[in-house]
Amino acid sequence: MNGPENTDGTDGTEGAEGAEGADGANTPTGARSWAVVRLLRQRDAGLYLVGVVVSGFGTSALWLASGVWVKDLTGSDPLAALCLLAMWAPTLAGPLLGTLADRVRRRPLLIGTNLVMAALLLTLVTVEAPGDLWLLFAVLPAYGAAGVVHDAAESALVVSAVGPALLGDFNGLRMTATEGTKLVAPLAGAGLYAAYGGAGVALLDALTFVLAAALYAALRVHDSPPPPRGTVRRARTAEGVRHLWAHPGLRLLVPAGGATMLCAGVNGALVYAVVEGLGHAPAYAGVLAAVQGAGSVAAGLASGPALRRLGERRFAAAGIALTAVAVALRAVPSDPVAWVSGAAIGAGLPCVLIAALTAVQRATPDALLGRTAATASTLMYAPNVFGLALGAALVALVDHRPVLVVLGVVLLVVAVQPALRAARTDSRSSSEANPA
């Protein structure tokens, strides 16, 4: 287990942040700067990160190629767009799917999930005509569901692999690996599709799943046994939701992440309007996406030391505030401003997500961690899709620049609550340390 649940009504993340702050204050600067090196030297952590890169590469390649594949076979834009929806929709069932990660041993679950998906992807080599697309649309939801189960099991198992002290560094490196992969995998997938068609991309993705399964099989991490099947209460899907709601720190950070991702979705839907305002062709959106991805890579590398120095709530608040200013600046029709704001959004947006996931991992008992992590992911990432839909509607009705300014203001409001809670914690700690 990661630690006992709080039963005294205090905010459990206050203690965690206090510990982090102490670590940041007492650990020499050189030691803090070597945290990432120490993490990478850990065999299991290294295997995990390689697995993230391998599986992320295949997923990003298939994400782009599946839409192009459907478009080429049918000429239909709506059907091509359904590919993304089919892969994303299972995340709404995160609390239910995440329960599986608490009912069985997690390492065998990770291995089995990857092998099953490799087998399913191999069936896509038979898709050659529009009449075969039912198979693709059957595999894609299974792909999304497997991803939810995979992430829940991995989030729970990684705590044993790296330990609580380095969770922030690991989650930051995981973000860096994921975003770095997104910078190159879509282009590689497009090139592979052009050369060998959709079947070639499916074979590549199947191979990445097999490699990921081999990496997880090589782990030597302690895998806690699941609770007895007679323990009905622990088996309930809703326990993850209850834990998030009962824990004051998680009840603050997870909704803040969801609100931030809602605004990020609206912002994302406005990207082509921003590009048009800059006087460029739609393809210029790829340049802005690359700049934003580079910002996310940098944020991932810096997140571990920043979490130790600032604590989870201040780190989240700072990232949301940076995103707020950057989103509002996108209303300025200037290329240099667009590049700077894109990099700042990339750097600021992941902060609340990394902080919330790290807090969940530290504050949740092991027996609940799979479903709690999956529930938190659903609550944080699902609003992004609703934001995309809202942004698409708004851009058709009003000018995008006032919308961007309003989004910046909303994000600043979201940043206030974690900042105030952190300030109250500092004040309380100071009062206790220096009683009158």
Domains, in order of start, for the chain = 1-33+236-436 (1.20.1250.20), 36-226 (1.20.1250.20)
Q: How far apart are the first and last CA of the chain?
A: 38
Give the chain's length: 436
**Mean local confidence (pLDDT), 265-287:** 82
Query: pLDDT band at residue 232, thresholds of 50, 70 and 90?
Result: very low
**What is the percent of the chain with per-residue pLDDT over 70, rounded to a whole number?**
83
Q: What is the pLDDT of residues 206-220, one digit of tens each?
A: 999 999 999 988 888
Instruction: Please tell me which residue, 317 or 392, carries the higher pLDDT value.
Output: 317
Categorize the per-residue pLDDT at 320 as very low, low, confident or very high, splitting at 50, 70 and 90.
very high
The phi and psi torsions of 239 (rounded to 5 degrees) equal -60, -35
Report whether pLDDT(301) > 80.
Answer: yes
236: confidence class by pLDDT, cuts 50, 70, 90: low
On average, the pLDDT of the chain sits at 80
Q: Mind giving me the DSSP string for 267-315?
A: HHHTHHHHHHHTT--GGGHHHHHHHHHHHHHHHHHHHHHHHHHH-HHHH
Say what the pLDDT of residue 234 is: 44
CA gap 106, 175 in Å, rounded: 21
pLDDT of 239:
78
Model confidence at 422, pLDDT cuts 50, 70, 90, reads confident
Contacts of 194 (CB under 8 A, 6+ apart): none
Single pTM value for the model: 0.74
Residues 6+ apart with CB under 8 A from 376: 240, 244, 250, 254, 257, 356, 357, 360
Q: What are the tokens at 36?
A: 């990432």
